[in-house]
Amino acid sequence: MTTTERFVERYHSALGRPGLDDPALRRTIFAALRRTLGPWLPDRKDGRILDVACGEGHFLSFLREAGYTKLRGIDLSDENVGLCHQAGLDFVSKQDVLKLAEFEPGRDFDCIFALDILEHLPKARVVEFVESLRARLAPGGTLVLRTPNMACLFGLFHRYNDPTHEFGVTENTLGDILALAGFARDGIEIRAEWNATTPLGRGRELYLRLLHRLVYLAEDSSRPHIATKNLLARAANRR
């Protein structure tokens, strides 16, 4: 068993990731999700939604609490799937995300969320993976991605702070990947993930904005504009 396989098998416990047992932590996580992903949630509560690499089910729990009724989730970790089932998310299945075509063949989804998974994939498989996500979208459906931002001033720290990270992108290369996977350039939106929920947190965000601009004064016209540790991307399926 490889190092990555060992971590994946016990991803939650090996990395000490938080659960949702603490009500205060749950409120904080959900507040951050409302701020960051709330504007991109489907209008229809009965839309078919798939969460790829759903982890412990934080986002699916958030969606369920928000009233969405047709949810599916997949994850490679037995531990994570078990935690999801303990949380009442019995619609979560174990599935290799690189074999997405095998999951409920013939079913399309109105919205697919792939949060914090791109960075765990081999570089050689990334475009293929995004193509497989696009193939499972219904016409007019939407793909939403979240992945670390290597142009963030702390990008290298976040890149190597998880031993299962294999790959990193900037706002420019993320757009290139989505376009290469078949999404139209004018249907791709990439933005910052400002997720603070307290006055202190928002103060830190302002500090990061200013520091980012100051540091990148030394760069030419190709300087990155997004300062946050994560990038958010939305792409429309126009087929």
pLDDT tens column, 179-224: 999 999 999 999 999 999 899 999 999 999 999 999 998 887 678 9
pLDDT tens column, 144-159: 999 999 999 999 998 8
| CATH, domain range 3-236 | 3.40.50.150
56 by Cβ neighbours in 10 Å (0-12 / 13-18 / 19+) ranks as: buried
Q: What is the reported pLDDT for 190? A: 98
Please state the rounded mean pLDDT for residues 70-80: 95
Say which residue, 41 or 17, is predicted with more confidence: 41
Question: Which percentage of the chain shows pLDDT scores above 70?
Answer: 94
Q: What is the reported pLDDT for 12? A: 62
d(CA 22, CA 41): 25
Task: Find out whether 57 and 65 touch, Cβ atoms under 8 Å.
Answer: no
Candidates 149, 168, 156, 151; CA nearest to 215 is 151
DSSP-based three-state secondary structure for 94: strand
Q: Which two tokens stand for residue 51?
A: 């969460």
Q: Which strands make up the sheet holding 230-236, listed edge to edge?
A: 92-94, 70-75, 48-52, 109-115, 137-148, 230-236, 188-192
d(CA 87, CA 36): 23
DSSP-based three-state secondary structure for 53: coil
Q: What is the reported pLDDT for 14? A: 59
186 contact partners, CB below 8 Å, separation of at least 6: none
- This prediction's pTM: 0.93
pLDDT tens column, 61-72: 999 999 999 999
Please state the rounded mean pLDDT for residues 34-59: 95
Say which residue, 161 or 141, is predicted with more confidence: 141
Q: What is the reported pLDDT for 106? A: 87
Q: Which two tokens stand for residue 42?
A: 């489907």
- How many helices (H) and strands (E) in the chain? 9, 7
Q: What is the reported pLDDT for 81? A: 94
Residue type, 212: H
State the DSSP H helix or E strand holding residue 73, giving kind and residue range, or none if neither: strand 70-75
**Whether pLDDT at 88 is above 70:** yes
SS (H, E, C) 171-196: HHHHHHHHHHCCCCHHHEEEEECCCC
**Whether pLDDT at 119 is above 90:** yes
Task: Find out whether 191 and 31 touch, Cβ atoms under 8 Å.
Answer: no
Say which residue, 82 or 13, is predicted with more confidence: 82
d(CA 51, CA 43): 17
Please state the rounded mean pLDDT for residues 1-29: 74
Mean pLDDT taken over the chain? 92
Distance (Å) of CA 30 to CA 23, 69, 97, 229? 10, 18, 25, 19
**Whether pLDDT at 1 is above 90:** no
At residue 171 the predicted structure's pLDDT band, cuts being 50, 70 and 90, is: very high
Residue spans of the domains in the chain: they are: 3-236
At residue 16 the predicted structure's pLDDT band, cuts being 50, 70 and 90, is: low
